[in-house]
Amino acid sequence: MSLAKIQEPPDKSLILLSGTPGAGKSTFCHQVVIRNIANDSPVIFVTSEQSPNEVIGLLRGMGIGESGGLSFVDAFSETVGLSTAQRSDTVNANCANLNSLSIAITRQKDKVGKERVFLVFDSLTSPYLFSGAEVVRFMRLFLSKFAAEGNSVLALIDEGCGKEEDLVAMQSIADGILRMEIKESSRIINVVKYPKLEPKTIEIPPAGIQDKKIWDMGVRSPEFMEDTSAMMRGRATETLNRGIGNYVNFFWPNFAFWSSVLWDPEGFPEMTYEMNKKHSAAMRETLSLLPWYMRLFLKFFTPKSFDNVKNMKKLARIGRIWEQDRCGTLEYLEDISRTGEYYFRVYENFECYGFENIGATMASLFPPLGAGTCKALEKVEREWNAVETKCIGLGDPYCEFKLVPGEIGELRASLEKDSEVVERIHKRLTERLTGFLINGEALVDRRSLGSDIHVDMIASVMSVPAMSGERRYQTAWRMGGVKSGRKVGERLLEAGLSGDESIKRVIDFMNYCKVGKVSVDNRIIRIEENCESLWTKPYTVKWEEPKCLFTTGFLNGLFSAVKNRHVREIKCIATGEPYCEWEIY
């Protein structure tokens, strides 16, 4: 069986393509689109993870030019609060509303005006994030019917994005099932079932695989160099000069992070780990900014390598800055550490506090920052890694992580999160937030360190995704924000609050958390000194588009639920504006 045979779905068929994130499903999908356009088949492309312009750019990179046979249903831009391009070949929809998707696809089919149409849906993951098992019903009542009318449908879904029984139900509806995976350096397509074809495994050559782009900060601006130099001289507070103070309630970054993990429980934590490690390792580039006496001190203070228990103790002293930022209290466990394996304990870790006995390790910041710092400060060039061995989330009274040079076999399994555990974590956060909004109940307050962390740490939690070149990572922050905003809005309406009162209470909550100076006036939301974008501005001369990924998604989901309105960011600190601003429409 050749690859070409499964790249031309037959009429009256619904094909489901599943696989883990990053397995190559979208690339395969684009190849199928190009083949169908070459065969003069009209194609309707439903995109829920990127804009039509991005899809067109990818298709052009694969050799396709302008084509009148390609049209779009944009279920991404409006959903996450981005401006929608006015295109004659595009109909807009909201992937949080399955009825909206059905209507948009039908409208686009009528505009095409041909009997046989190829519909590609990339992907069902985002609609599933919002509607759960209702997506199964959508497949049965709409996509199957659409195919039965003489069309063909290719729908993509990420494995691990939800309950296993829902994926099984989707597969039972489909006429064909393809499953993609990566083995060593090749992509594998398992043809589980397909009209008129026998089950088979197809290997795609490694030339078709591209390495993930994990880190892309761009050219750093003079302001970044100046701000970094000031921070390293101990004047971070003077540099930032937030009028509301330089501390943020840690509930906000935790809420944002776990909302985003909902979208990709398996891949998102691993991407976060890699990015935070690289973020910390980038410290090496800024050491030259230090005054001469500090450089001289580091020269003698920092060992050639941290490859023994005594030398690692020096790293623990550097880690005291995390304590100053109120992230947690760090202790180096010299007694149980040994050469090549070093242990650290963190008391009142802000990432894990309030998640007692949740059933998973929670820390996504301390371990990779420790690994990245080792790489930055050592005089030898090598990789370090860290894995959490104890955690408040597992019922331990504190968190511990192991730091080693080289690979850690159990690291990946530790990072992957079961979707049911993530749902449990997010439910606890949502209940705590709605308790605060409706009844004035407390959020989370640590016994010794309180509820605030320094805004510097928000850069690692919330700003790094915006600076990442990984589209999937950014989409998770956007979509996670939308789902959380909608859920909070729905809870407030169920409690009997009006739409206006719901908005007021959420804005008050954001001000309480010191997200920034948040205000709503007529059709404009403004956030001055917004913590999410505060650290994106200095990293490049100028970003071309707004970078408040989670905040925009959250506000858009909230307004969609309580006012049936949408918001989009029209100004952003990251693009050089003095504040961030959203239009309500």
Q: How confident is the model at residue 539 (pLDDT cuts 50, 70, 90)?
A: low
Q: How confident is the model at residue 8 (pLDDT cuts 50, 70, 90)?
A: confident
Q: What's 544's DSSP letter?
A: S
Which is nearest to 112 in space by CA: 144, 81, 69? Answer: 69
Beta-strand runs (E) in 313-468: 329-332, 342-347, 384-390, 399-405, 452-454
Q: How many other C-beta atoms are found inside a 10 Å radius of the C-beta of residue 217?
A: 16
Q: How confident is the model at residue 174 (pLDDT cuts 50, 70, 90)?
A: very high
For the domain made up of 3-208, the CATH class stated in words is alpha beta
Does pLDDT of 542 surpass 60? yes
Lowest mean pLDDT among 83-97, 103-117, 168-182, 459-473: 459-473
Q: How confident is the model at residue 464 (pLDDT cuts 50, 70, 90)?
A: confident
Average pLDDT over residues 119-133: 95
More confident: 470 or 547:
547
* Residue 221, pLDDT score: 45
Tell me whether domains 220-240+427-585 and 266-416 share a fold. yes
* Residue 213, pLDDT score: 39
Does pLDDT of 419 surpass 70? yes
Average pLDDT, the chain: 87
Q: How confident is the model at residue 289 (pLDDT cuts 50, 70, 90)?
A: low
Greatest distance between any 2 Cα atoms in the chain: 76
* Residue 21, pLDDT score: 84
Kind plus residue range of the DSSP H or E element containing 479? helix 471-494
Q: What's 449's DSSP letter?
A: T
- The tens digit of pLDDT for each residue in 128-140 reads 999 999 999 999 9
* Residue 1, pLDDT score: 54
Average pLDDT over residues 469-496: 91
Average pLDDT over residues 172-177: 97
Lowest mean pLDDT among 51-60, 250-259, 316-325, 522-531: 316-325
Which is nearest to 53 in space by CA: 85, 19, 16, 100? Answer: 85
Please tell me the distance from the alpha carbon of residue 36 to that of residue 117, in angstroms, as a whole number.
10
More confident: 295 or 365:
365
Q: Parse the chain into domains and list their residue ranges.
A: 3-208, 220-240+427-585, 266-416
**292 to each of 60, 271, 295, how far by Cα in Å?**
51, 36, 5
Are 209 and 520 spatial neighbours (Cβ–Cβ below 8 Å)? no
Assess if CATH 1.10.3470 describes domain 266-416: no
For the domain made up of 220-240+427-585, the CATH class stated in words is alpha beta
Please tell me the distance from the alpha carbon of residue 167 to that of residue 160, in angstroms, as a whole number.
9
Average pLDDT over residues 207-216: 39
In terms of phi and psi (left: phi > 0; alpha: psi -120 to 50; beta: otherwise), the region of 226 is alpha
* Residue 219, pLDDT score: 39
Which is nearest to 254 in space by CA: 487, 547, 508, 513? Answer: 513
What does residue 305 show for φ and ψ, rounded to 5 degrees?
-145, 160
Q: Are strands 118-122 and 342-347 parallel, antiparallel or unpaired?
A: unpaired
Are 20 and 181 spatial neighbours (Cβ–Cβ below 8 Å)? yes
* Residue 296, pLDDT score: 66
Average pLDDT over residues 102-121: 94
* Residue 216, pLDDT score: 44
- The tens digit of pLDDT for each residue in 67-79 reads 678 999 999 999 9
More confident: 255 or 465:
255
- The tens digit of pLDDT for each residue in 363-414 reads 999 999 999 989 988 888 899 999 999 999 999 999 999 999 999 999 999 9
* Residue 184, pLDDT score: 73
Cis preceding linkage at 152, omega within 30: no
